[in-house]
Amino acid sequence: MPNRIAIIGAGLGGLTLARVLHRHGTDFNVYEAEVSIDARSQGGLLDMHEDSGQQALKTAGLFTEFMSHVRPGEDAKRIVDKDANILFERRSAESNRPEIARGELRRLLLNSLPQEKILWGHKLVSIERTGCKGFRIAFANGGSAARDLVVGADGAWSRVRPLLSDAKPVYTGTSFLEVSHSFGAERQSEAAALVGPGTLMAVAPGRGILVHRNGDGSLSGYIALNKPEEWISSMAFDDQTSGLARLAAQFQGWDDRLISLITRSDKIHALRPIYMLPVGHRWTRQAGLTLLGDAAHLMSPFAGKGANSAMYNGARLAEAILDKPGDIEGALANYEDELFERMRVIAQESAENLSLFFGSGAPQSIVNLFNDASAR
């Protein structure tokens, strides 16, 4: 058993790995570049799947506590066209995928770990192999550590990945602009009523408005556009009024209620270009190194399995390490062999779904997708 495990990144996958290791008395440290959990927006809602996210939470011993944070009703789905005609609707009771805010789930995992094991403000700058075994890892704050096993759970732009793979994320052509709407709490608002109790997806070729209702009645979501990176990055967000107006202009001719989900937004919180690694991304086994989450299988969110897979894979990696305490390389090989095939299928599904959401067949292509899923 490696007695010094470094988990680079305190996202959902890395924290799940840490939690399962902690439950079984295995030592580790989590190194996170951000200074705290509150350093940035944590994103929107996540639906936990029975065969992945929920399974990971059970392995971590946190499923019961997770269920106490679930938001009833918010897993409902509604699809509309640009004229706000309802094309598909699924009520909450019809879903077995309970939803939770990403930030709440991350905090749940963090609170289940000894706080001294999470080292905030540790941005990785280098990893050097020391002899035939072990690594010296250095951080931007001047600190360093010697570790036997390094797990790169450090996201899309992982600094661990280049030690294993030459693959680099590529832009998919779609960008999200994150917005929020406090006016959603006004239940009489026509736009808020159109959103319904859960998530509204208003889509058309090349664009979409994806909004969900929060527990307090407010609304959060994303404005999606198929645009070149340089166009998206040229958007000026320092002047929120003009920025929102420019976004709204991209939806000319849409129903006024949908347009108001842009123009009446409180602000644009973040620009999130959607990147992906090649479908079937894999690497050659390197002693003492492996990857997890977006570092290993970055993909678009349109299979709804990114966070679920990161958590499931974190739990599986922990189990592989625990199952082979005297053979860490065998454990990593078993983990990676399973990971590569499972994530190839999921990444392919994600890439295909992205084209369905904003391709020439939208919104009917999305209706068909959800109808097919409901029939299974």
Q: Would you list the domain boundaries of the chain?
A: 5-73+97-168+278-360, 170-276
Q: How confident is the model at residue 74 (pLDDT cuts 50, 70, 90)?
A: low
Residue predicted with more confidence, 248 or 266: 248
Report whether pLDDT(137) > 50: yes
Please state whether beta strands 5-8 and 29-31 pair in parallel, antiparallel, or not at all (unpaired): parallel
What does the pLDDT read at residue 236? 58
Neighbouring C-beta atoms of residue 328, cutoff 10 Å: 19
Looking at CATH, the fold of the domain delimited by 5-73+97-168+278-360 is given as: FAD/NAD(P)-binding domain (3.50.50)
Q: Are 144 and 247 in contact (CB under 8 A)?
A: no
Report whether pLDDT(18) > 80: yes
Residue with tokens 């770990």: 113
CA separation (Å) from 40 to 18, 43, 102, 218, 240? Answer: 22, 9, 12, 19, 19
Least confident segment among 62-66, 76-80, 372-376? 372-376
Alpha carbon of residue 363 to chain centroid:
23
pLDDT in the model for residue 73 = 61
* Percent of the chain scoring above 70 in pLDDT: 91
Mean pLDDT, residues 82-94: 85
- The stretch 144-164 carries a mean pLDDT of 96
Indicate whether 25 pLDDT > 50. Answer: yes
Q: What is the mean pLDDT of residues 355-376?
A: 86
Q: What is the pLDDT of residues 233-242, one digit of tens each?
A: 776 566 667 7
**In the CATH hierarchy, which top-level class contains the domain 170-276?**
alpha beta
Range 159-175 average pLDDT: 96
> Model confidence at 92, in pLDDT bands (50, 70, 90)?
low
The closest of 124, 148, 125 to 31, measured between CA atoms, is: 124
User: Does residue 69 or residue 150 have the better pLDDT?
Assistant: 150
Split at pLDDT 50, 70, 90, the class of 204 is: very high
CA angle 94, 98, 103 (to 5 degrees): 150
Q: Rounded distance, CA 351 to CA 340, Å?
A: 16
* Residue 186: predicted pLDDT: 57
Q: 293 or 182: whose pLDDT is higher? A: 293
The predicted pLDDT at position 45 comes to 78
Helix (H, G, I), strand (E, B) or coil at 38: coil
Angle at 180 between CA 174 and CA 181, to 5 degrees: 130
| pLDDT at res. 109 | 97
pLDDT of 272 reads 86
> What whole-number distance in Å separates Cα of residue 6 and Cα of residue 122?
12
Cα angle 364, 252, 43 (rounded to 5 degrees) comes to 70
Amino acid 143: pLDDT:
95
**pLDDT, average across residues 269-281:** 91
User: Regarding predicted confidence, which is higher, 37 or 194?
Assistant: 194
* Lowest-confidence region among 18-27, 145-154, 268-277, 306-315: 268-277
pTM comes to 0.90
**pLDDT for res 188:** 45
Both tokens of residue 37? 């959990």
Question: What is the structure's pLDDT at 304?
Answer: 82
**pLDDT in the model for residue 269:** 79
Mean pLDDT of the chain: 89
